[in-house]
Structure formats: C-alpha cells, structure tokens
Amino acid sequence: MNAKPERASPNQKTKFKSGFVAIVGKPNAGKSTLLNHLVGEKLAIVSTKPQTTRNAILGILTRENYQIVFTDTPGIIEPKNLLNRCLIDTVRTAIGDVDLIYHIADVTDPVPVNESVMNLLKGSRAPRFLLANKIDRLRRPFDIRDFPNLPDPAGYEKAIAISALRGHNLDLLINLTLDHLPEGPLYFEPGQISDRNLRFLSAELIREKAFELLGEELPYSMAVEVEEFKEREEGKWFIRAVIYVERESQKGIVIGAAGKMLKNIGTLARPAIENLVGQPVYLELWVKLRKNWTKSEQELRRFGYLTGRKKSHKARLT
C-alpha cells in the first residue's frame, strides 16, 4: 500500500538508518493502535475481541534519514487449538530476526503479561523495550513502581510510558528506537506504508466492523475473504466479500433478522474502505459456512494462517 511520498533517500551527508521492529504483547494491549499511530494510517484493525490481529502486518515509517519497518503481531495467549498455534508461530517468526522488540503491556490490565509472552521473548536475542501503554486512562502520573505486575524493567533496554491512542511519548519512542537501529538500506519505496495490498486491508476492515456489531454474540472464529476487487465503472470499485463462519447456527447471527445485521456490517465497512482506496465502493457481502475451519489445516492454509516454514520479513528482504 502506498501513500503520499515523504522526502526520504539515503544521502552522503547523513547516515541513513533502517531496521525492523516487532510489536508483541497480550491481546488488547494496544499493538494495532500503536502501529496505526506510528505510521499515521489505519493499517491494522482494532477490536476488544481477543486475537483480532491474525497476520503479521508491516507498517513502514520513512523519513529523510531513516526507515523503520514495524510488525504488528497477533496477541499472545495460551495455544489451545490449531489456530492459536498458527498465530503463535506467526509471532515467533516475526521476532526471530528483528533489530528491536516493543513489548507492549496494558497498565490497566491486572495481569499485563502472561507466560506465553515471556517464553517467546526469551527465544529472541533482539533487544527490547517495555512499553507501559494506556497511561491516559490513569488518574495520576505514571510511576512504574506502582505497577508490580509489570515486567521488571531491568530486563529491557528501555521502559517507556506511552499512550498509543493519544500519541503520548511516541516521538520519544522513535528517537530511542533510532539509537538501536543500524545504518542500512531503504527496504521499501518512500511512499509505501505497508506490505499489504488494498484487497487484504479491505477484508480486514469488514472483519473489524463485524466484530464491532456482533460483540460477544459470535466467537472470533470468523474469517473474511474478498472474492472480487476491481473497478467496474470509471471511478467506482466493486468488492464482493464472503464472511465465513464455522457453524451453521452462526450464519443466522451474522445475517440477522431479514438480513439486517449483514446490511449494517456493510454500511459501516463501506465508508472505511472508501477512505482506504480513495474511491467510491459498491460492497457486496455474503455469509458462507466453512465447518470447523479453525481446526482444519487445509482451511487454515486457505485463509493464509498456516503457510509452512516461514521466513522473517527481514530475511526475505536481505
């Protein structure tokens, strides 16, 4: 995905820095919100549902003297099923070859870390920052000594109190990040802000709006696939997408009485997609059954969650 180009190209007078930063943590810690704020665009969907993020999504921040490639990763929980294990593998790959890890923890969460998060961090040699997030929700100045459930800051290069939502201390975060990045090449063109195309991001926006409207009525085991994405008439895009559920009873929940819920999902998703693509959109939504897809290797492979042996983004680009 491209955006308006920034002035960014290595020059002889100033050292150009570049590197890869993985954002990890529990579900709902604020990883996707942080990525979106750092890049300045809506790349990753945000929801209170656990494991809304299922793919490692790159967000690219390019300025005159640096390029930082952020990776938003799925929230880390105990792997109870095949889908969970696939998502854990995605995180493990993402942190396996990065220059820095942001471990983001929600200061309002009574249990801001879990064993799965800490075990994955132990498996990486990359330096890490502890980001104490959501300090905007506190009624007093943040003091890490008041939060004994947070990890010991001694195990990190830096501990930084931030608000991913409000942008508090994010300029400081970038400056400290640059201190830990090497001189390097321009991995992506200056105008590119993500490795994901509009088709993928549109599917994610539909899934986000479905989560918003359905609340706790439907488990997170819902997938969206865009079957058609093309310009049918000048200046107007046609998108046909399918929302997949894994049980017959869930179809009725997504469709709703007289199709009202499905219509509402489309009503919310369409303007968000139009903002993304910069053109009017005709959105057609369908609901189909993929029985027990979260437990099937074939179906997980179909939706891109099970891809065999994976290379890190850095390894693929260097």
Contacts of 134 (CB under 8 A, 6+ apart): 30, 106, 107, 108, 163, 164, 165
Tokens representing 96? Answer: 């396996």
Q: Report yes or no on whether pTM surpasses 0.75.
A: yes
Contacts of 119 (CB under 8 A, 6+ apart): none
Q: Computed from CA positions of residues 264, 216, 35, 316, in that sequence, does the dihedral angle turn out positive or negative?
A: negative
Q: Give me the pLDDT at residue 165, please.
A: 93
**Strand duo 100-106 + 66-72: pairing:** unpaired
Considering the segment(s) 198-302 as one domain, its CATH architecture is 2-Layer Sandwich (3.30)
Task: Give the Cα separation of 141 and 85 in Å (integer).
Answer: 38
Q: Give me the pLDDT at residue 73, please.
A: 82
**Do you know the residue count of the chain?**
318
CA dist list (Å): 112 to 48, 147, 150: 15, 10, 6
Inter-axis angle of helices 198-214 and 248-255, to 10 degrees?
90
What CATH code would you report for 17-193? 3.40.50.300
Strands of the 223-233 sheet, one edge to the other? 223-233, 236-245, 281-289
Tokens representing 315? Answer: 């390894």
- With beta carbons less than 8 A apart as the criterion, state whether 26 and 105 touch: yes
With H, G, I as helix, E, B as strand and everything else as coil, classify residue 27: coil
* 162 DSSP 8-state letter: -
Q: Give me the pLDDT at residue 7, please.
A: 42
List the domain boundaries for the chain.
17-193, 198-302
Distance spanning both ends of the chain, measured CA to CA:
20
Q: Give me the pLDDT at residue 173, please.
A: 97
Is 198-302 in the same CATH topology as 17-193?
no
Q: Give me the pLDDT at residue 318, please.
A: 63
Task: Give the Cα separation of 271 and 196 in Å (integer).
Answer: 19
Mean pLDDT by 10 residues, the chain (318 residues): 47 78 91 91 68 75 96 76 76 86 94 87 91 93 89 93 95 96 93 88 91 75 90 85 92 93 96 91 95 85 70 62
